[in-house]
Amino acid sequence: MDGPGKGISHVQLRVTDVARSVDWYCKAVGLVRGSDEPIAGAMALFTPNRRAAVVISAGRDAGARTELDHVALGVADRDTLVAWAEHLDAEGIERSELDDNAVGLSLYLYDPDGLQVELIAP
């Protein structure tokens, strides 16, 4: 039997307001809804190629410690990351400056519950 290794299936985030977070992840990083209505209080959002998902579910109390350090979403290349920076600016979503680091070019933003989201290009 083959072991795991086909990539990340999904990341599940427990948030204070599912609708608010769904709206933010769709606008900020281009995820798309898997359905129109939450299922069992959760909403699956997919990357446009549907290779990975972020599941947004209720259950995190306001002011509680974030359970996850950050989520990093890869983009194809540096030009694409610059285009995402422009998109975020147009949407009025606060972001960091572009950070050219040892891993790649990154930018950082925070979802409505304060979870850090990194967009990174190789």
- Model confidence over 17-29: pLDDT tens digits? 899 999 999 999 9
Q: Which two tokens stand for residue 109?
A: 């933003």
Beta carbons of 95 and 112 less than 8 angstroms apart: no
Q: Where are the domains of the chain?
A: 10-60+69-121
Q: Which fold has domain 10-60+69-121?
A: 2,3-Dihydroxybiphenyl 1,2-Dioxygenase; domain 1 (3.10.180)
Beta carbons of 42 and 87 less than 8 angstroms apart: no
* Residues β-bridged to residue 45: 33, 54
Q: Does 1 have pLDDT greater than 60? A: no
Q: Does 70 have pLDDT greater than 60? A: yes
Please tell me whether the overall predicted TM-score, pTM, comes out greater than 0.85 for this model.
no
